[in-house]
A and B are shown apart, each in its own frame.
Chain A
C-alpha cells in the first residue's frame, strides 16, 4: 500500500544519543557556574530562587553523568571558567543571565528529543520542562516555543 510521507520542511535525522547527552551535561555545567555569578547579585526571594535552581542543576548534572557513564563513556568535564554572554552588574542583569542559562539548558535537552531511542527522547522532552519554566520565571513571560529557534 502506498503511504503518504510525513510532511516536514525541516526534517531532522535522528542524532546519536551520546553527543546529545554530553551537550546536555555541558549546558548543566555552564548553568551551575552561571548561577554562582547571578546569585551574588540577587537578594531575598530571588536569591532563594536562584539557590533552588542551582541545586536542581546540580542534581540534573549528577543524573546525566550517571547516564553517560552507564553508556561506557566518560562524561565531559566542566570548565573552570565560562565566558558570560554579557556583563552582570546588578539584579536585573543577574535575572537576565539566569533566563539565558535556562534557555540554553532547554535547547540542550531539546537536542535529546531528536535521538531515536524512545526512552531518551521522552527523558529529554520531560527534562526540558523544568528549565523552560525557570526561564519563564526569570524572563517574566512565557514563550510559545521554548528551545526552538522560531522566527518571530
Chain B
C-alpha cells in the first residue's frame, strides 16, 4: 500500500511530471498565497487615507478648532470608513493593513503623520486632495465600488465648502 503525506505530494507530483494544479480544478493550494485584486488593493489604500483623515480631524477637534462644527464632519468620515471597511473581506493570512496599500495611499493623507497644529486650511486641503484622489481611483475599479468612491468624493467636496472653501 502506498502512503504519502501532504508534504511529500509536491515531490511525488514532480517525479510524475505533474504540477499540483493539474489535479485540481480550483485554486492551487500549493502555489502560495494568491495575489490581491486591483480593487482590493485600491480599497486598502482608500481606507488608509480615510483613517489618516480621521486622525487629522481628531487632532483639530482636540485642539478645539471650531470643535462643534468639525464634529459633524468627523462623524461623516467615520461613516465613510465604516462603509469602506465593510466592503473589504480579506482571505486568511492577509491583514487589513498589509499589502501595497501604504505604497499607493494618497500622498495627501500620509497615515500616522498628523501635524501638531491643524488649521482649517489644512483640513480643507486634505478634503480637496481626498476628493481628487477618489476621482482618480474610481475609473479603474468595479462599478459598485466606483459609485461608493464617487459618493464619498462628493461628500468631501461638500466638506470643503463647509470649511469655508
Contacts and interface: CB of A to CB of B under 8 A. Distances in A.
A14 B143 contact: yes
Secondary structure of the B side of the interface?
helix
B60 to A, nearest CB: 16
Contacts of B43: 7
A118 B86 CA distance: 25
Contact of A132 (B76, B135, B144, B158): B158
B158 A146 contact: yes
A6 to B, nearest CB: 3
A148 B154 CA distance: 11
Secondary structure of the A side of the interface?
loop
B76 A113 contact: no
B31 to A, nearest CB: 7
Kindly state the interface size class of chain B when it binds its partner.
Answer: 35 or more
B34 A3 contact: yes
A114 B146 contact: yes
Contact of A145 (B36, B37, B40, B79): B79
Interface stretch (B7-15, B87-95, B108-116): B87-95
A123 to B, nearest CB: 10
A1 B153 contact: no
B143 A13 contact: yes
B150 A5 contact: no
B53 interface: no
Given A110-B147, A145-B152, A7 B35 contact: no
A69 interface: no
B95 to A, nearest CB: 14
A15 B150 contact: no
A4 B87 contact: no
Interface of A: 1-15, 106, 110, 113-116, 118, 121-122, 124-126, 128-129, 132-133, 136-137, 141-148, 150
28 contacts: A2-B27, A3-B34, A3-B35, A3-B37, A4-B34, A6-B142, A7-B40, A7-B88, A8-B87, A8-B145, A11-B142, A13-B143, A106-B154, A110-B147, A116-B143, A125-B138, A125-B146, A125-B154, A128-B150, A132-B154, A132-B155, A132-B157, A133-B157, A136-B161, A144-B152, A145-B155, A146-B154, A150-B83
Interface of B: 27-28, 31, 34-40, 43, 72-73, 75-76, 79-80, 83, 86-91, 131, 134-135, 138-155, 157-159, 161-162
